[in-house]
Amino acid sequence: MSISESRLDAIIWNSLLGAYARSNTPQAALIIYKQMQNLSCPHRDRFTYSFLLKACTDPSLRDKKGEIHCHIIKTGFHSQIYVRTSLLVVYSTSGCLSDACKVFNEMPKKNVVICNAMITGYGKHGKIDDARKLFDEMMKRSVVSWSAMIDGYITNNRTREAFALFRFMLMEENENKPNEITILSILPALQHGLGASHIGDSIHAFARKMVGLAERVMERVVELEREFGGDYVLLSNIYAGAGRWSDAEKVRRSMEERNLMKTLGSSNLL
């Protein structure tokens, strides 16, 4: 099936928008959009506005989100859930939780993706009880839903509730088993209390089984951020919690050789 010339043009424009939105110069995405307007590009679609909203998560462009929102309404894309989810995320990440809630509440039908985005937004703004209320009301949840809720509890220093959810994920009747994202969410608490009594035997056993996964995740993080000492400390603690003292010592030595120090009170995982 061939693609029309105008549709191909739209794909090229959107590819440019997406590339700039994810780059270090997201301001260029707005310039590209203005050029699309000037040329009356006929195939602006949900991807066009989702990429624009992605660009607006940059601090330098956050005051543009209202303008983009108006364009979305004028062009009739406001009803598309893909665009609304992007709109919710940009409002939430820029500190406008009330606007994010308005976008969410105006949705006639809410799918798992937009509910997950709202749970994440609540968690980041300290509204963890609102996040839990929404989580409990969801008819269907994904592993992302569980991970977002656990991450919200950890972020808001409510580790008992986080471990309670984590324990429930391990039960046979729950189809959403923990994955790498779940482990990343709960690692900050696990690495400080792998054998803590309040975790419970099931969490303790699972944590030891998942050391291999946690190890792979943190090794990748260390590979990507070689100059951040906190990652080395976390990986060393994971090894120590599993009784792998020689591996823990190797990580510590590597940290010393690189002359890295953990920044006090700092963590890339929270």
Asked if residue 18 belongs to a domain, the reply is yes
Among 33-47, 78-92, 168-182, 230-244, which is the least confidently predicted range? 230-244
Please tell me which residue, 201 or 223, carries the higher pLDDT value: 223
- Structure confidence at residue 2 as a pLDDT band (50, 70, 90): very low
CA angle (84, 19, 79) in 5-degree steps: 15
State pTM to two decimals.
0.69
Closest C-alpha among 79, 24, 71, 23 to residue 49 = 71
Return the pLDDT at 137.
95
Asked if residue 167 belongs to a domain, the reply is no
Return the pLDDT at 228.
58
Last residue of a domain, one of 66, 94, 122: 94
In the predicted structure, residue 207 carries a pLDDT above the cut 70: no
Range of the domain at 46: 9-94
Q: 75-124, pLDDT tens digit by residue?
A: 888 888 888 999 999 999 888 999 999 999 998 889 999 999 999 999 99
Asked if residue 141 belongs to a domain, the reply is no
CA angle (179, 117, 56) in 5-degree steps: 120
In the predicted structure, residue 147 carries a pLDDT above the cut 50: yes
- Please enumerate in sequence order all residues whose Cβ is within 8 A of that of 255, keeping only pairs 6 or more positions apart, or say none: 229, 232, 233, 236
- Structure confidence at residue 200 as a pLDDT band (50, 70, 90): very low
Asked if residue 146 belongs to a domain, the reply is no
Return the biggest CA–CA distance within the chain: 65
Closest C-alpha among 60, 61, 63, 57 to residue 92 = 57
CA 190 vs. chain centroid, Å, equals 20
Return the pLDDT at 99.
93
- Taking the CB of residue 11, how many other CB atoms lie within 10 A of it? 13
In the predicted structure, residue 239 carries a pLDDT above the cut 80: no
In the predicted structure, residue 66 carries a pLDDT above the cut 80: yes
Asked if residue 110 belongs to a domain, the reply is no
- Structure confidence at residue 37 as a pLDDT band (50, 70, 90): confident
Provide the residue type at 177 as one letter. Answer: K
Q: Span 137-148, mean pLDDT?
A: 93
Q: Answer whether 43's CB lies under 8 Å from 5's CB.
A: no
Last residue of a domain, one of 64, 79, 94: 94
Asked if residue 256 belongs to a domain, the reply is yes
Last residue of a domain, one of 65, 94, 123: 94
| Residue linked to tokens 């050789």 | 257
Asked if residue 109 belongs to a domain, the reply is no
How many structural domains does the chain have? 2
Asked if residue 259 belongs to a domain, the reply is yes
